Amino acid sequence: MRFLHVYGVHRSAYKLYLQHIICKRSLSVCAITVNKNAISPGRGNHILCQPTDCANLHSHFIGLQQRRHNSTEGGEEIPTVYIPTFDEMSYEWIEYMHLQTGLPWWLTIIAATIAMRTVIHLPLAIMTQRTMARFENVQPEINGYVELFRQKFAIEAKEKKWRPKYAAATYDKGVRHIIKVHHHREKCGPLRALFPIGGHLVTWYGMSVALGQMAGGSPKLFGTEMDVDFIPEFINSGSLWFSNLTVPDPVFLLPLANFIVSIVLIECWSLRRGPETKTFQRLKLALRGVSLGILPVATILPASIQLFWLTSSLCGLGQFFLLRQPQVRRFVGVPKSPSEMTQPLTEMAQIFRARYLAKKMF
């Protein structure tokens, strides 16, 4: 069984402390039970607690807190500090929202996803837009310096009679230095563009694993501990045709809808000004392949994860169109760039017609 230590306090002690507070406020619902013979302790177990148990609960909490897990080295006790993983933090976040709002689990998943996309992913998306706009704005200046450097370098290499291999290596080093200096000055280096992508992947992974654990998914895939992680209410806390959140969508509408939304998002992202380069085309094909590859995997996952993926994709599509509006971009501090669209929907429709529909008949 997994034990969490938050600042050296055993997870069970922490939960008992929560029960103690709840009982002191004369509430009747406890997070777990003190009597282990009644029900197995776990994150998903909820029972009714009698107010008479509060005194025993307080003394039991004090005992557990005194027996917290410590490391012994040389006869001295060293308190253990546990740093929770992303899936554990996601689990606690979803469970906290459910307890605070009282929403059914399927609505809790949607609300937690929207909150995550708004609080975490939206700032990261804004950071990406700022970085890309600065990168685009500084590119003409970089091209000018590179051209000037090329002319001076050609003269110097001819005068000093450098060998072609040495001259090419020196030239590439000089160009990389020019690019690095300008990117550092404008704060638009490649790491700044990759950091938001990493943030998206980490939070998406954490939420997926947490929901898989709540649904009692495969222990090998999600690391599920049934007596700790599984929430029995998931069996009948769905909605419409996916009433059971622990099994895959029986009619495959959730994974299919997620696939369609992902493809729409990729195609809308690719509708930008200018001709498509080979690198851009390869990237677009790779993203399409990833979306297509996820489809069969999504069909065998619990409906809770399928619902999260669909909600996240819809939020991503909405954020995409939101951050394409010039007024919104100015409001969040994204500088104006040459590729920015003044009327995004109209211009994207024109690009789509010119790229896919305006084919020559002869």
pLDDT tens-digit map of 261-307: 999 999 888 887 666 677 778 888 898 999 899 899 889 899 999 99
CA distance 228 to 213: 9
Q: What percent of the chain has pLDDT over 90?
A: 25
Return the number of other C-beta atoms located less than 10 Å from residue 274's C-beta: 9
Q: What pLDDT, on the 0 to 100 scale, is given for residue 45?
A: 46
Tens digit of pLDDT for each residue in 177-189?
999 999 888 888 7
Place 144 in a pLDDT band, splitting at 50, 70 and 90.
Answer: very high
Q: What pLDDT, on the 0 to 100 scale, is given for residue 321?
A: 92
CA distance 241 to 306: 13
Place 257 in a pLDDT band, splitting at 50, 70 and 90.
Answer: very high
Cα dist. 108→114, 210, 296, 308 in Å? 10, 13, 26, 10
Tens digit of pLDDT for each residue in 326-349?
999 999 999 998 888 888 888 888
Look at residue 165 and tell me whether its pLDDT is greater than 60. yes
Q: What pLDDT, on the 0 to 100 scale, is given for residue 230?
A: 82
Enumerate the H helices of the chain as residue ranges: 11-24, 54-66, 86-101, 105-116, 122-160, 164-186, 190-214, 219-222, 253-270, 278-298, 303-322, 326-331, 344-352
Q: What pLDDT, on the 0 to 100 scale, is given for residue 78?
A: 56
Query: Mean pLDDT throughout 255-260?
Result: 94
CA distance 208 to 215: 11
Q: What pLDDT, on the 0 to 100 scale, is given for residue 101?
A: 87
Residue scoring higher pLDDT (258 or 48):
258
**Contact 340/287 with Cβ under 8 angstroms?**
no
Which of helix, strand or coil describes residue 251?
A: coil
Query: Comparing C-alpha atoms, which of 339, 323, 213, 182 is closest to residue 265?
Result: 323
Q: What pLDDT, on the 0 to 100 scale, is given for residue 219?
A: 75
CA distance 332 to 308: 27
Residue scoring higher pLDDT (141 or 6):
141
From first CA to last CA, the distance across the chain in angstroms is 70
Residue entry with tokens 């409906």? 303
Say which amino acid occupies 266.
Answer: I
Look at residue 146 and tell me whether its pLDDT is greater than 80. yes
Q: What pLDDT, on the 0 to 100 scale, is given for residue 76?
A: 54
Q: What pLDDT, on the 0 to 100 scale, is given for residue 222?
A: 78
Place 174 in a pLDDT band, splitting at 50, 70 and 90.
Answer: very high
Q: What pLDDT, on the 0 to 100 scale, is given for residue 80?
A: 64
Look at residue 16 and tell me whether its pLDDT is greater than 50. no
Query: Comparing C-alpha atoms, which of 331, 326, 319, 356 is closest to residue 344?
Result: 326
Tokens of 348: 């994207």
Q: What pLDDT, on the 0 to 100 scale, is given for residue 260?
A: 94
Beta bridge partners of 15: none
**Contact 230/300 with Cβ under 8 angstroms?**
no
Question: Mean of the per-residue pLDDT values for the chain?
Answer: 77
Look at residue 42 and tell me whether its pLDDT is greater than 70. no
Look at residue 30 and tell me whether its pLDDT is greater than 70. no
Q: What pLDDT, on the 0 to 100 scale, is given for residue 77?
A: 55
Tens digit of pLDDT for each residue in 78-132?
556 777 788 888 888 898 888 888 899 999 999 999 999 999 899 999 998 898 8
Tens digit of pLDDT for each residue in 193-241?
778 888 888 888 889 988 988 888 777 777 777 766 788 888 888 888 8
Q: What pLDDT, on the 0 to 100 scale, is given for residue 68?
A: 36
